[in-house]
Amino acid sequence: MADREVKFSFKQLSGKRFDVVDGKDNQDDLLKWSMKGRIKLQMYSFDQPFQAYQKERFVQDFMNDPEILSTLQTVSATCRWSPVGIPAKSVKVKAVPCSVLSMSFFDRLYENNIARENGHLHKCLDEFYEDFTIADELRKVLLLEDSDNYDTFSDADRDEFLFRLFKHVCLGGKLCQYEDMVDKYLEFTKTLYKDLISVQKNPETKELSIVSNVFSIQAEDEKENMYYPADTLHEQNFSYLVVDPLKRHVTVLFHKFGSSIY
């Protein structure tokens, strides 16, 4: 009963800048991957203590908060950014595991000959899967369950936030030009992950642990039509809320599948 009385309020931290997306260093890569102008990071503070079991209430309040409605950005079919504006009648929230602390998680790409020691991706004959062209062993691992190397990553591995980010970056947008080397994907993923999650050190063991809670979200309007992150389901239409319960910050990672905005 007490939980239902909790109402979270939010305030945009408009001064927060995410160089991984907004800085000049990665603009050429984002353009090449057809994600430029279609991916955005925003940060908000909130005013109540947060526990993971409150996730539905938290997201419901988030998607109905006046500050969110007027500042949370979404991109239209005509490539224009504007506030989401629409209150949510209902939300769908899924907790996303987030426990990986090292990029050695991806060493198996080299160990299983998906990428050579120098990072060069092994090519294959073109195949097509939904909106994606598969031209190398990496995309086979990401998309084709019947591929020889699909079990390189278990279902639990694939659910991890780090793997999700890597997959999103590798698949890109509608006119994505794929990399020949895996290094750029890994470096971008590492930087994005570090910008999104918060860690703390155990004072006794000195071990690091992740304190962030990650949720993938969808919102439906009063007619029960999904409108956020998009009005259609797609592998590359996504919105994640990354909640730091200690600082009471929530970071939104949003992307909508399409062509780069120049």
110-148, pLDDT tens digit by residue? 999 999 999 999 999 999 999 999 999 999 999 999 999
For the record, the structure tokens of 3 come out as 């939980």
Q: Helix %, strand %, coil % for the chain, to 5? A: 30, 25, 40
pLDDT tens sequence across 21-39:
999 999 999 999 999 999 9
Per-residue pLDDT band at 2 (split at 50, 70, 90): very low
Helix and strand counts by DSSP (H, E) for the chain: 10, 13
Residue 203 has pLDDT above 90, yes or no: no
Query: Mapping DSSP to helix (H, G, I), strand (E, B) and coil, where does residue 33 land?
Result: coil
Q: Output the pTM of the full model.
A: 0.95
What's the pLDDT at 260? Answer: 77
Say how many C-beta atoms besides its own lie within 10 A of residue 211's C-beta.
15
Looking at the chain, the whole-number percentage of residues with pLDDT higher than 70 is: 97
Q: Nearest-CA neighbor of 64 among 255, 219, 185, 178? A: 219
